[in-house]
Amino acid sequence: MRDDLGADVPLQAPATRIVSLVPSLTEAIAATAPDRLVGATDWCTHPADLAVARVRGTKNPDLAAVRALSPDLVVANMEENRELDVRRLRDAGVAVWVTRIETVAQSLESMSRLLATALDVPDPDWLVAARTLWGTPSPRRLSVAVPIWRDPWMVVGSPTYTDDLLATAGLVNVLADRDGRYPTVTPDEIDRAGADLVLLPDEPYVFTADDGPEALRTPTRLLSGRLLTWYGPAMVEAHAALANLQT
């Protein structure tokens, strides 16, 4: 078996004890094979009733706690998790599957292959639905900007999963041409970019009605960060939210 980065994953049988270091993958596995999930990060908030051991954060997982759970597979992501942590787990003899997801198409293919290859389960209903909903790009209709942090202000750039998700939903990211995946900008630069709407998510920075809109002249819309950044079951909800987005 090889993960998305081409690394060997030494599984001799379908994984039955899985620790997830990625909130999106945690939700995906919990919705597909919940009995196999034994550990997740503190940031894994979906499903709300998830009852598994917690192993700290995505960037600072408690590797000793991970190993103590005796997983036959740890799932990680190239962007969300550190290469150092992946290497240390592998050096300790733990099988790790790393995903690489920068587009909607990659997310669908990556999750399908992970579930089929490492877990030996067919595409679940939520993945079939997501593939149907996101299979045909929508015509362009709105331009948007998406801040993800404040002080300093940072926005979604390209190439990122969120940028491709927006494009597939018919939303043009007006700051996609800036240098870097998450470029630093000023509120004035966001306004001058000419977006119809600025989408303010609640993660990783928690924008609220009183924290964010007051700094911008462009109309804003608060939106769940999960719908903008989580691949997995959230993609079904994301399509409904983004496809119907209006000024």
pLDDT digits (tens, 9 = 90+) for 19-64: 999 999 999 999 999 999 999 999 999 999 999 999 999 999 999 9
| Model pLDDT, residue 244 | 85
* pLDDT band (50, 70, 90) for residue 69: very high
- Would you state the structure tokens that stand for residue 143, as one six-digit string? 């331009």
Cβ atoms of 9 and 73 closer than 8 Å: yes
Indicate if 151 and 58 belong to the same structural domain: no
| Residue where one domain finishes, among candidates 123, 154, 179 | 123
109 and 182, same domain (yes or no): no
Q: What is the pTM of this model?
A: 0.93
The verdict on residue 130 lying in a domain is no
Count of residues for the chain? 247
Final residue before a domain boundary, out of 76, 91, 123: 123
In terms of domains, do 106 and 153 share one? Answer: no
- The 10s digit of each residue's pLDDT in 178-190 is 999 999 999 999 9
> Chain-wide mean pLDDT for the chain?
96
Residues 112 and 152 in one domain: no
Q: Are residues 146 and 118 in the same domain?
A: no
Amino acid at 15: A
Query: 106 and 159 in one domain?
Result: no
Range of the domain at 58: 18-123
What whole-number distance in Å separates Cα of residue 63 and Cα of residue 66?
5
Place of tokens 């000793």: 64
**Structure tokens of 86?**
């992946």
Q: Which helix (H) or strand (E) holds 198?
A: strand 197-201
pLDDT of residue 246: 85
pLDDT in tens, 111-158: 999 999 999 999 999 999 999 999 999 999 999 999 999 999 999 999
Do 22 and 119 have their domain in common?
Answer: yes
The H or E element that residue 246 is part of is none
- Asked, for residue 6, whether it belongs to a domain, the answer is no
Let me know whether 155 and 76 are in one domain: no
In-domain check, residue 41: yes
22 alpha carbon, distance to own chain's centre: 8
| Cβ atoms of 155 and 178 closer than 8 Å | yes
The count of domains in the chain is 2
Q: What is the domain-level CATH number for residue 42? A: 3.40.50.1980
